[in-house]
Amino acid sequence: MDMRTNEIKVLLQKFYDGVTTPEEELMLEDYLLDGDPDPEFAAEVAYFRDMRHLRMEEIPVPEDLESSLISKLEPIQTRTLRPSRKWLYSVISSAAAIMLLVSSVIFLTRKENSMEINDPQLAYTESYQALAAISALLNQGTSKLQELDKMNQAVKPLKGLNTINKAADELSVLSLIDKALNTTSGIVNGK
């Protein structure tokens, strides 16, 4: 492998990474198409040859292209723009985040309603009352779950049906074995 091949490999890697300059691409094209490239660059030679062919090919432009484009763009330009839902959701989300931030700052900096308790017995009493209120609210919310527990208790006896189903499957296998034995004994006995 000569020095030129190593340089071409480095340039090709840069080309595949999309970081070559136009001059480097021209150098690659010249080497691969006009020079004597190594056979290992056969795929790159075919690619650059096809790209040169496409670049040299003349593409016919319809004469009425400009008027056709203008006629298609006019309805778009006259249409009124409505805010998209994505934009609306982002505005609402931002407003909610700002409101949350403002209310947090107000809540955390508010001192006049805060109460500092130095007496341990009073602190215990206040804490007990607060926790009792929370417990009452939680119990009120979970009272409906007792009905679900009743349903679970009613379903428990049905779990035994699974073992009955397994036993029935095993009996059906035994029935097949019995048929096979009867068929075999019929063949052996000459029936």
**Inter-residue contact 52 to 29 (CB < 8 Å):** yes
What are the distances in angstroms from CA 128 to CA 119, 121, 135? Answer: 14, 10, 10
**pLDDT tens, the chain, 191 aa long:** 565 788 888 999 999 999 999 999 888 888 888 878 888 888 998 998 888 888 888 878 788 888 888 888 887 777 666 667 777 778 888 888 888 888 887 777 765 555 677 788 887 888 888 888 877 777 776 666 666 666 677 767 666 666 666 766 676 777 777 777 777 776 766 65
What would the two tokens of residue 190 be?
A: 């000459």
Round the CA-based radius of gyration of the chain to a whole number and report it. 42
Determine the pLDDT at residue 81. 61
Gap between the Cα atoms of 102 and 90, Å rounded: 18
Determine the pLDDT at residue 148. 64
Ramachandran angles phi, psi of 20, nearest 5°: -80, 150
Gap between the Cα atoms of 34 and 36, Å rounded: 7
Determine the pLDDT at residue 38. 84
Domains in the chain: boundaries: 3-56, 120-145
Does the pTM exceed 0.85? no
End-to-end CA distance of the chain: 85
Determine the pLDDT at residue 19. 93
